[in-house]
Chain A
Amino acid sequence: MSGEPPSNPKEVRKYLQQSHDRIFESNRKWASEQKAKHPEFFEKLAQGQSPDYLWIGCSDSRIPAEAVTGLEPGEMFIHRNIANLVCNTDLNVMSVVNYAVRHLQVKHIIVCGHYGCGGVKAAMTPKDMGILNPWLRNIRDVYRLHEAELDDIPGDNDKKYDRLVELNVIEQARNVIKTAAVQQSYEEKGFPVVHGWVFGFNDGLLKDLNINFEGELEKIKKIFDLTKTE
């Protein structure tokens, strides 16, 4: 999908119809190829899902989680929002975490950010962005938590952004570990394990930030221990 859209209304309508039809054509092509390769593929999927992974990633169009990890449909439960944030008052992400952990019993939760994140960059731009302000505030707070380290990074802003992307992932992974769903499931069953990764566009590879899950969990429990139910 590329190219400049035309400007006269009739052409615009035609253009919209074509790009619209393209999705359906592509989908039909994919479905028939899939069926040819594995005749029982869709019937099996219709029976239910039992993914091992929950992916919390950025909405950015360049990082389709299933494609960059080489997984098939049915293998990864996916939540994507602006800058892969996990805010404790956000019912949207909290429902996803709850459903994935308590109902689907995923084994891994991956918080994945990416270098060159528009959301992180926008958060560092001193500008009123309307409805995006409260959302991006969370990234500004990550900066505040790590102000000394970030301010010390010499040179251009790019290196600072890159580090902020990493620190943001680590903070959001911590937010996942702070949830009752994760703490209680881990105590009881030994999973899920929470990971923090960053995707790089220069090579298409995922970088593991090596979050020490058990260590973080222990530290977090000092203040956020939710394993005891009343």
Chain B
Amino acid sequence: MSSSILDAIDRIVAGNRVYAQQTSEQDPNAFKEWNKGQSPEVLWIGCADSRVPETTVCNCKPGEIFVHRNIANCVPADDISSASVVEYAVTHLKVKKVVVCGHTKCGGANAALADADLGQTLNTWLHPVRELRRKHKTELDKLPDDDARSLRVAELNVQQSLEVLRLHPAVKRAINERGLSLHGMIYDIGAGQLRLLEASGVKKTNGLWSPN
């Protein structure tokens, strides 16, 4: 292992020391409080992309957002990993909101614009996103360029994930019993800003989706 490779590790170990020190300076009880447990209000399902760190871009503090991040913020109905996160967050932590956040310049959405072979693992994972592209071909063909097309695919994919979430038994129950709400968003990497997606085909008020 070359020394430059290990320098990268020294850097985040040092970064962590600064984080620990600054956090205690700002609030001497911070770690004591966090030690007691967590009660986040938001479950964030986002992309693994390094440019969209949820707590930073939402200017939130540790403890506020429960997080699942994967390639292209997909929530396949048969995926145990995301299903476990949703179950734990909704049933056990009782979060009040579930956010699915896609983003511009998404490598996954971009790869889904064509059928290049990315290896079997990624091909399988991105299959539903590529299916979305096929389903919406006419609409996508009218868009001016690939950036616009991959953004539209990212939006459709967020809606798709929300559809799956609405059918999750714990989510359904929480919507009816305690007003859990679901939100679709797109993060614009070039502007640093979040945009709320309007829900389609469901009753909504002020961008909040509610069960019929």
Residues on A lying within 8 angstroms of B by beta carbon are: 1-2, 5, 9, 12-13, 16-17, 19-20, 23-24, 26-31, 34-35, 41-43, 45-46, 48-49, 51-53, 59-71, 73-82, 85, 90-96, 98-100, 102-103, 107-108, 116, 118-119, 122, 130-132, 134-136, 190-191, 193, 195, 201-206, 208, 213-214
A5 to B63, CA, bound (A): 17
A60 to B8, CA, bound (A): 25
A190 touches B2 (CB 8 A): yes
B208 touches A20 (CB 8 A): yes
B59 touches A26 (CB 8 A): yes
- SS class of chain B's interface: helix, strand, loop or mixed? mixed
Query: Which residue of B9, B41, B126, B179 is within 8 Å of A1 (Cβ)?
Result: B41
Q: Which of B152-177 contact A (CB under 8 A)?
A: none
Contact with A along B181-208 (1 / 0, CB 8 A): 1010000011111101000000001111
Q: Which residues of A contact B67 (CB under 8 A)?
A: 59, 61, 64, 80
Q: Which residues of A contact B181 (CB under 8 A)?
A: 16, 20
Q: Which residues of B contact A68 (CB under 8 A)?
A: 16, 19, 62
Q: Return B144 CB to nearest CB of chain A, in Å.
A: 17
A122 to B107, CA, bound (A): 35
Q: Return A100 CB to nearest CB of chain B, in Å.
A: 8
A67 touches B5 (CB 8 A): no
A41 to B179, CA, bound (A): 38
A38 to B29, CA, bound (A): 32
Query: Which residue of A35, A91, A122 is within 8 Å of B192 (Cβ)?
Result: A35
A132 touches B84 (CB 8 A): yes
A-B contact pairs, 12 of them (CB 8 A): A1-B42, A30-B57, A31-B57, A62-B34, A62-B62, A67-B62, A71-B15, A73-B51, A93-B70, A98-B118, A204-B24, A208-B13
Query: Which residue of B12, B24, B124, B193 is within 8 Å of A27 (Cβ)?
Result: B193
